[in-house]
């Protein structure tokens, strides 16, 4: 009996460690999320995760194990592929590397999916064959079960406002993104609306991943400073800008505030702007839920490169 119990304990330890490393998004208590700053503050985030070194170390190992093989393959290409590589072979190789990168980013979760999405609209940075693959990240996020999403909405909006949305167990999301998902519904007063709800527990995981990206950027910048001191540093500022933008997307009240400001500016603007720009009206907003009028449109990632460059 003791030997069996010992074997079970030995088996449980690595399983628990792996679960802690890969399942952080799901197990981080929501109460801790409320302790995180509403606006991105790198120092506050670092202090928050210094008090949780095991979680931070486990996640860092998970990221390294997932992205390491992808990075190694890209480095090998740089060292072994000649400048005379045929265009067809080059495109196939880039697509292959992009597929591996896409799959790695999806497996790492929301912050890394968001990073890939940011790259997917940068034809000036990413080669065209790889760009096509990375654009799939805009549709690569599995939806949270509707029961979970509706529970979040009810908690955020309150029972009365939630009931007015006419959402139920049979409701299906029309889109699922890295940070949340959207439902289309008709309210009790006949209004066609989009209801966006945040993934439960996502803020804690995103804050950790962004903090780790910041640590990596500081390391890279330090190495560059030692190897090429004349080069102007930019890694930390680039990651900080991305982190501030990604973190801001988790605050739906802030998004609603910006949307109201933009709508007022458009309505007060020239007639040409009023005719060509539509900003949906905000109907309700909390930190994790947003209800706006429904409008039809196209994804930016699917726009023509010339349109993206113009924007």
Please compute the mean of the pLDDT values over residues 18-33 and round it to a whole number: 45
Output the pLDDT for position 32: 67
Cα–Cα distance, 288 to 251 (Å, whole number):
7
Output the pLDDT for position 275: 80
pLDDT over 70 at 245, yes or no: yes
- Each residue of 53-108: pLDDT tens digit? 988 999 999 999 999 999 999 999 999 998 889 999 999 999 999 999 999 999 99
Please state, rounded to an integer, the average pLDDT across all residues of the chain: 85
Q: Are 182 and 194 in contact (CB under 8 A)?
A: yes
Which percentage of the chain shows pLDDT scores above 70? 87
Output the pLDDT for position 311: 62
Supply the DSSP string of 112-168, one letter for each residue. Answer: HHHHHHHHHT-TTTS-HHHHHHHGGGGG-PPPPPHHHHHHHHHHHH-HHHHHTTT--
pLDDT over 50 at 44, yes or no: yes
pLDDT over 60 at 26, yes or no: no
pLDDT over 70 at 140, yes or no: no
């Amino acid at each position: 009996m003791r030997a069996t119990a010992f074997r079970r304990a030995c088996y449980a330890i690595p399983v628990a460690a792996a679960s802690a490393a890969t399942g952080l998004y799901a197990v981080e208590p929501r109460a801790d999320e409320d302790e995180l700053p509403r606006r991105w503050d790198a120092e506050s985030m670092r202090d928050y995760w210094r008090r949780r070194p095991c979680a931070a170390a486990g996640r860092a190992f998970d990221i390294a194990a997932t992205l390491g093989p992808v990075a190694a393959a890209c480095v090998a290409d740089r060292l072994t592929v000649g400048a005379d590589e045929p265009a067809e072979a080059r495109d196939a190789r880039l697509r292959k590397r992009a597929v591996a990168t896409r799959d790695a980013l999806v497996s790492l979760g929301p912050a890394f999916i968001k990073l890939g999405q940011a790259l997917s609209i940068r034809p000036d940075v990413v080669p065209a064959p790889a760009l096509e693959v990375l654009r799939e990240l805009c549709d690569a996020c599995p939806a949270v079960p509707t029961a979970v999403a509706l529970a979040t909405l009810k908690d955020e909006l309150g029972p009365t406002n939630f009931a007015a949305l006419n959402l139920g167990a049979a409701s299906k999301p029309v889109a699922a993104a890295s940070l949340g998902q959207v439902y289309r519904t008709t309210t009790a007063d006949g209004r066609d609306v989009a209801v966006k709800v945040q993934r439960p527990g996502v803020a804690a995981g995103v804050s950790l991943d962004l903090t780790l990206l910041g640590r990596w950027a500081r390391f890279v910048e330090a190495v560059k400073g030692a190897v090429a001191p004349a080069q102007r540093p930019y890694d930390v500022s680039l990651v900080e800008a991305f982190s501030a933008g990604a973190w801001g997307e988790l605050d739906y009240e802030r998004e609603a505030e910006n949307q109201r400001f933009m709508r007022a500016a458009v309505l007060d603007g020239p007639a040409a702007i009023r005719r060509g720009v539509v900003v949906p009206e905000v109907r309700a907003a909390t930190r994790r839920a947003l209800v706006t009028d429904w409008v039809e449109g196209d994804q930016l990632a699917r726009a023509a490169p010339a349109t993206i460059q113009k924007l």
